[in-house]
Structure 1
């Protein structure tokens, strides 16, 4: 079951990554920057908020640090954008659909990654569930209580939000549903 899940989630992660990367190419960049990964402060501007303990934090500190770490891992400041994009974890892409990014990123840029009318909230709920499932599978956790049929539907819905043809392509190669029906 885990292998079937990872197969489909692998396709979804690459599709989501590529769709977001293409949408973020619309971001106006500062002089000298050729790719959005060279200007993390342009996308993830300082966003002060209060932490649970009352201290002031920057809500975008983590994504900025993730961009810088991905650039380092890809070869440094001059690494090609595509190589940097490949360094991000599924978690990085997952959090781009949260409400914190609705105004600065979703409305002007990220919605272009999906079919017209795609709800950021619906996308975020599905991707959140799939991220949790991917982590369970990757850590060899028990899947007996997971609603794998619902998560399978989430994969199809998210892929269809990106492209109906993509959803059909992955569905045609997926073994998730057949393995799930064999589950004791």
Structure 2
């Protein structure tokens, strides 16, 4: 059985979502898990969750003879990847970073540089379905800087995209020490500044 299948079967069998699998140099196998999303539920992956998955994965990987030196199971953290439609529904209203497979500047009506592939903005459902990110190119005010109320704000720009057009999408790692503003999205790992992590010594 392939590594992806072994890990996915084990993680989902224990009632968790598999977010990411990474193989790193030195034989490190890193597995990122999350709790299934239920609107309005503010649950977080705990160290105990990571320990439970680690124990079960160690057994499953040994049975299938998977070669690795060290296993690390963790929660997603503040730059959680978004891969599935459900991830986008879960984090609608949040700030995200997206990288497109191909530039879409020309398709965006000339609003952006024709060769631009990377965008940061608020994730929203687009009219007629699909997704879009909305942003302003106005630079953020520096701490203590006075902002004139008479100055007109820079216009908002929007770029629609399909999941097939994405190379990568992640929550933007924005830390507000007064508390992360979730913009109406359900509470999530987005608020946790660091990963819960359990590794095999």
The TM-score normalised by the length of structure 2 is 0.24
Which is greater in Rg? 2
Q: Which has the higher helix share?
A: 1
Higher strand share: 2
What is the TM-score of this pair, normalised by structure 1? 0.25
